A and B are shown apart, each in its own frame.
Chain A
Amino acid sequence: MLKMSNISKIYQTGAVEVIALNKINLTVEEGEFVAIVGPSGSGKSTLMNLIGCLDIPTQGEYWLDGQEVSKLSDDELADIRNLKIGFIFQGFNLLHKLSALENVELPLIYRGMNAKERQERALRALAKVGLEHRLHHKPSELSGGQQQRVAIARALAGDPPLILADEPTGNLDSVSGKEVLASLQELNQQGHTIILITHDTQVAERARRIIRIQDGSIVSDERMG
């Protein structure tokens, strides 16, 4: 499903070289629920950007769903993000001028899907997260937990092989946070591959595999149960 070999990311700021990731090797199989844990500055954000195809590595190979993506152009990466990855962010990152339904339709618009199919898919995704009665609400009219579920629906709508969640509970109260994590677990049980990035070990424990990262290297990789 996902294979990184010898991935390094080096930032050049003036004369100083900062090694954010140092020769990472990582394989994730289809259907896994992986948590990547590490303190801030450990390189986990950089790793998530690379996994999410928002950025390309300085060195190494990255195979995602059978495709080598480490040397693609910006627009090619946009296509990969659109087709293969569903993002869930800490700050929800919904467009506040669009309704829940329109937010969920957005990735499908960029896919060039026709209006009818787009709407059907968006409705199905929103129903999956239990928001079929909040279709025409703007994000500002929804609670934090509901907003995050809209974001999950958006990630699901395009039916991507990989769902990437970056601190999905970071902005939520504990009740909403638990709801969101429960949704993610449910999605995983339905067969979606999920990578969760967090600094919170309690959140990470929901996953079936925990990868700890520190100073740009993987320090432990343990499978639960």
Chain B
Amino acid sequence: MEFWQAIRLGISGIMGNKLRSFLTMLGVILGVSAVIILVALAEGSTQQVSERIQSMGSNLLSVSIRGRGNTGYLSYEEVLKWEAYEGVSKVAPSISTQVQAKFGNKTKDVNIEGTNHSYHEVRNTHVVMGRGLTPIDVEFREKVAVIGANVAKELFGEFTPLGEHIKLRGINYRVIGVLESKGSTIGGSSDDAVLIPLTSAERFVGTRGIRRVYVQAENPETVDQVVAKLTEFLTDKYKDPDNFSVFNQTEMLQTVNQVTSMLTVMLGGIAGIALLVGGIGIMNIMLVTVTERTREIGIRKAIGAKKRHILYQFLVEAVVISALGGVIGIFLGVGIAKLISVFTSIAIKFSLPVIFIAFFFAVLVGIVFGVYPANKAARLNPIEALRYE
């Protein structure tokens, strides 16, 4: 009961001076909302980047050959042998080049990728219409093409492209499928791609040999093992490690997460400093309040208030200011972050623990910075306090 009484007294103290209380609260409000907004933005971007990395395919490794020496590039047969390695799920080689695709009088610059049937799964690019590449397409050097969503839209508009022929460097390719739209991803969008059988592409590009291979590991645990095995194979073949590289998506994801979580902590910390400054504002105002209300404290003490009664009263006032500021800050922060994401299409992600931490930190700041003024009030001498004008 004494507790509720103290809260009531605290609130009436705050209501007694609305403008000043609000200005004091403002420091906490801005601090809490800054924490929420900055962390929401940082975590939103983290999530967006990780999703983009993951959309390239799961447990993905990609091997690139840079060397030009006598050893040359990889052959399809060589590459297919990797599928037998322990921990490897699928292997999709890729030969790519940029050309102009033509249908009727419409043209579009596309990214040709010569690959095999595994590509769809390894690169996480699914066919939404028609069918994907098959081993037979590769074996018989079929002139067939699976086209990206943008390519389909720009060349065919509303018409179904299936069964139509598009011209790539003057050669007719029959469209057998359309890929699902993925938007922009790291490492080029599949929306502007045209997939053709690897064997057709070899002739097309004019070089035999594969410079890039996508490898899917069975699960995240086998990724390292597969990297080791591939590195061993490539070192054996090319000697100089500068001639090839094995890109590990899982590792990249970890790096990105490390960097962004550091970013989150940093931004949160900076916003936390704003909260601390808000706390100093509370202390400042509470000290003024205590001085102003010296006579009131004297009266309360004269009629029997103990030290702790006075201490609670002023402490509660400080805590109510900071807690109320915290609640307003949460609403403001969430609102502003949502506005930012609506108007700038920057991704945001609210973290409930961070919201709670920001709130409790605000309350803690109120307690820490309220104790000194409250204690000062509690220790006033009643006679002197009563005499105070």
Contacts and interface: CB of A to CB of B under 8 A. Distances in A.
Contact of A87 (B2, B296, B303, B383): B303
Given A89-B386, A95-B296, A82 B2 contact: no
B296 A49 contact: no
Contacts of B303: 81-82, 87, 106-107, 110, 154
B182 interface: no
B304 A110 contact: yes
A49 B383 contact: yes
A66 interface: no
A74 B301 CA distance: 10
A112 B6 CA distance: 12
B302 A52 contact: yes
A87 B1 contact: no
Contacts, number: 60
Give chain B's interface residue range (CB within 8 Å of chain A): 20 to 34
Given A54-B383, A93-B299, A110-B309, A82 B304 contact: yes
Contacts of B5: 109
A115 interface: yes
A158 B305 CA distance: 13
A177 B305 CA distance: 29
Given A112-B1, A114-B1, A75 B306 contact: yes
A55 B302 CA distance: 10
B383 A83 contact: no
Tell me whether chain B's interface is mostly helix, strand or loop, or mixed. Answer: helix
B307 interface: yes
A57 B207 CA distance: 108
Contacts of A79: 304, 306
Contacts of B279: none
Interface string B296-339: 10111111111111000000000000000000000000000000
B75 interface: no
Contact of A78 (B295, B306, B386): B306
Interface in A44-99: 49, 52, 54-55, 74-75, 78-79, 81-83, 87, 89, 93-95, 97
A137 interface: no
Nearest to B5: A109
A111 interface: yes
A43 B181 CA distance: 94
Nearest to B295: A93
A25 to B, nearest CB: 23
Nearest to A109: B5
B57 interface: no
A168 to B, nearest CB: 14
Nearest to A96: B296
Nearest to B307: A75
A74 to B, nearest CB: 6
A49 B298 CA distance: 13
Nearest to B308: A75
Nearest to B304: A82
Contacts of A97: 12, 16
A84 B142 CA distance: 107
Contacts of B383: 49, 54-55
A114 B5 CA distance: 11
15 contacts: A49-B383, A52-B302, A74-B307, A75-B307, A78-B301, A78-B307, A81-B304, A89-B302, A93-B299, A97-B16, A107-B303, A112-B1, A112-B2, A115-B1, A158-B304
Top-4 shortest CB links A-B: A82-B304, A107-B303, A110-B304, A78-B306
Given A54-B382, A75-B306, A97-B12, 4 more contacts: A54-B386, A55-B383, A93-B302, A158-B304
Interface of A: 49, 52, 54-55, 74-75, 78-79, 81-83, 87, 89, 93-95, 97, 106-107, 109-112, 114-115, 154, 158
